[in-house]
Structure 1
Amino acid sequence: MFDCGKIAIIGGGSWATAIAKIVVAHTHHIGWYMRRNDRIEDFKNLQHNPAYLTGVHFNINEIFFSSDLNEIVQNYDTLVFVTPSPYLKNHLNKLRARISDKFIVTAIKGIVPDENLVCSEYFHQVYDVPYANLACIGGPSHAEEVALDRLTYLTIGCADTAKAQAFAEVLKSNSIKTKTSSDVLGIEYGSVLKNVYAIAAGICSGLKYGDNFQAVLISNALQEMNRFLQVVCAAEDQEYSFTVDSAYMGDLLVTGYSHFSRNRTFGTMIGKGYSVKSAQIEMEMIAEGYFGTKCMTEINRRMHVNMPILDAVHNILYERIAPQVEIKLLTDSFR
């Protein structure tokens, strides 16, 4: 039976805080890497994250904080990465300790910019972490609802099913239901694409398209996601489950519709006439789908999958095509 051992959280945002809450309730001890010492000191004094999910209180005696990533890596067995994907490389550039023998769990629903790799592939190719030691967390899971103990279903993906099950047991609670999957690549790519589609949904909302059209948009997004995942998983000779599973369709729905969705909020601002830069500044939070759109467009230039929604979002965000024009062309392509 695999033992996750001592578990550490890497990252200090809202999703990192929610996962820390889940894990420490089970283990009663976690390591926690945050890059800023002032943020750590404020956390210790306040007994909650000073910047995110401030209503979630922790027993500080159960947490070992450090701004030294190498210290955390050396002293913990399972490392749960929950940093925004655009910053992952910068954090890992500080790494001197070996991680190839660690159990790496990525809760990052994004892609590594410049590399155009989902996080598990990045850890495998750059840090020689074997696939059996790489897992991901998928499923519809807004941090705000997890923090409020609202019922949430998570999928743990890992090539080694015993390790997936062991980590699933760590997350399981009265409000967290878990299951496992071997489809790591599909879950990760699906989590990138659903952010892109949530931006599309937000743009359409900002343009005053109604619920009838939003349903058609999300239906077409699901088909588009399915087409891509079938191709990419076949190319990697990896098992793929159809997208009606909650790790794919469920995550797409909650990100496309929820008021907690950063990507939908970002898209809504773009639809209302904000520039990309002004929307990013006003949000003060990362919309991973902005970066994911560029990366997925570049990846699809190799895959040649028919992805009109992805193309439309890319044209709006990166080619500065007017949202009204691009979405009208998109609507004419739907049936």
Structure 2
Amino acid sequence: MTEIPAFKKNLPTQIAVLGGGSWATAIIKILTENNVKIKWWLRRKSDVDFIKKYNHNPSYLTDAPLNPRKVKAYYKMYDALQGVDYVILAVPAAFIPDALKNLTRNHFAGKKVVSAIKGMIPEENMLVTDWMEKVFGVPITQMCVIAGPCHAEEVAQEKQSYLTIGSPNIQLAQEFSNLMTCRYIQANPVADLYGVEYCAVIKNIVAMACGITHGLGFGDNFQAVMVSNAMQEIKRFLDIVYPQVNRDLHSSGYLGDLLVTAYSQFSRNRTFGNMIGRGYSVKSAQIEMNMVAEGYYAVKSIYKINEQHDVEMPIIDSVYRILYEKANPMAEIGVLKGFLK
């Protein structure tokens, strides 16, 4: 084996981050604690220019400083993708097809792809990793996903947090976990890409359900019962759609991620649900939030997928009917009460 020259051993890992939201910003903050160089693509040129001048995101996590020696912002995605080892996807799932529409398989050839997206591709009803494999030919063994429990706002405050990195390639999961571990973040690898990714999608729907019930005036007691039932729904769904031996749904990448999203003040999906419970229409809630709640799109995808499997998922069904069939929230939760134990 050829010896690696000493001067090359400590070269920084080259990473492209696609997306300009709070989670993308938090990921960049974490990564820059380590030996990396980041090419950051943002959709708006005004944001790129602002970051170049002031070294922080003008729209999200505005108090989080960015290291200009390690982070360079780009408006042209082609430039951001050149010469990188990793590509991190942090664009909302509903906008991924449009964001990447001008790219080809060559742009991802030889690169490791990381999904930081906790949603599904609408209409296609596909996980982001499956869509990347189908459209751009990225092997599933060259992909991993980032799960919580972790909110971007607490990363910005450098509060102790934990991440789970899922991949069928445990060596890749460990490698990326090392890049995402720093003094206030502990990242742990698991060999379960699909379980982690599906759980990250469904927990957003559950958080919406929790928000709806809170908006309707239900208390913590009812929410605790609903969350425990939701974990059972997730298990039933995964056991049918993607069974895996030794999957521990009680670990932080599954149960922990569900809990923080269902209960936290920072959960945009819970906030969205709370607005629906208080009488907002879907459109008015989306306009007032000015942020994407992945669970809105995800519930339709999971509902459609489950039409093929017929898994008992009353919480998913209730949220779907409230959001897409305009069912009365109080009446729908009244029906849901009969399914919970």
> Whole-Å Cα distance in 2 between the matches of residues 111 and 313 of structure 1?
16
- Alignment equivalent of 2:67, drawn from 59, 66, 70: 59
Q: What's the CA shift for 1:67? A: 1.5
Distance 1:182 1:206, change over 3 A: same
> Whole-Å Cα distance in 2 between the matches of residues 321 and 165 of structure 1?
45
**Matching residue of 2:25:** 17
> Whole-Å Cα distance in 2 between the matches of residues 180 and 327 of structure 1?
37
> Whole-Å Cα distance in 1 between the matches of residues 76 and 214 of structure 2?
43
SS at structure 1 position matched to 2:107: coil
Give the TM-score normalised by structure 1.
0.96
Count of aligned pairs between the two proteins: 332
- Is 1:243 the equivalent of 2:239? no
Distance 1:240 1:277, change over 3 A: farther
Letter in 2 for 1:131: I
> Whole-Å Cα distance in 1 between the matches of residues 98 and 231 of structure 2?
33
- Is 1:69 the equivalent of 2:55? no
Letter in 1 for 2:47: R
Displacement over 3 Å in runs of 4+: none
> Whole-Å Cα distance in 1 between the matches of residues 36 and 176 of structure 2?
15
**Matching residue of 2:288:** 282
- Is 1:49 the equivalent of 2:57? yes
> Whole-Å Cα distance in 2 between the matches of residues 83 and 179 of structure 1?
23
- Is 1:309 the equivalent of 2:315? yes
Q: What's the CA shift for 1:267? A: 0.3
Q: What's the CA shift for 1:242? A: 3.0
Letter in 2 for 1:71: D
- Is 1:184 the equivalent of 2:193? yes
Distance 1:239 1:38, change over 3 A: farther
SS at structure 2 position matched to 1:26: coil
Q: How does 1:1-335 map to 2 (within 5 A)?
A: 5-96=13-104, 97-234=106-243, 238-239=244-245, 241-335=247-341
SS at structure 1 position matched to 2:34: helix
> Whole-Å Cα distance in 2 between the matches of residues 69 and 75 of structure 1?
12
Q: What's the CA shift for 1:76? A: 1.0
SS at structure 1 position matched to 2:178: helix
Q: Structure 1: state its 5+ residue gaps.
A: none
Q: What's the CA shift for 1:240? A: 6.0
Q: What's the CA shift for 1:332? A: 1.6
Retained in 2: the 8 A contact 1:86–1:113? Answer: yes
Q: Which moved more, 1:107-116 or 1:322-331?
A: 107-116
Q: Which moved more, 1:25-34 or 1:143-152?
A: 25-34
Give the TM-score normalised by structure 2.
0.94
Q: What's the CA shift for 1:241? A: 0.8
Letter in 1 for 2:61: L
SS at structure 2 position matched to 1:75: coil
Instruction: State the Cα deviation string for residues 248-279 of structure 1 (Å, max 9, x = none).
Output: 11111000000000000000000001111111
Instruction: State the Cα deviation string for residues 278-309 of structure 1 (Å, max 9, x = none).
Output: 11111111010000011110111112110000
Instruction: State the Cα deviation string for residues 27-64 of structure 1 (Å, max 9, x = none).
Output: 25211111211110011222100000011011223222
* Aligned residues: CA RMSD: 1.6
Q: What's the CA shift for 1:74? A: 2.3
Letter in 1 for 2:87: L
> Whole-Å Cα distance in 2 between the matches of residues 242 and 162 of structure 1?
19
> Whole-Å Cα distance in 2 between the matches of residues 239 and 11 of structure 1?
34
Q: Which moved more, 1:262-271 or 1:62-71?
A: 62-71
> Whole-Å Cα distance in 1 between the matches of residues 214 and 143 of structure 2?
37
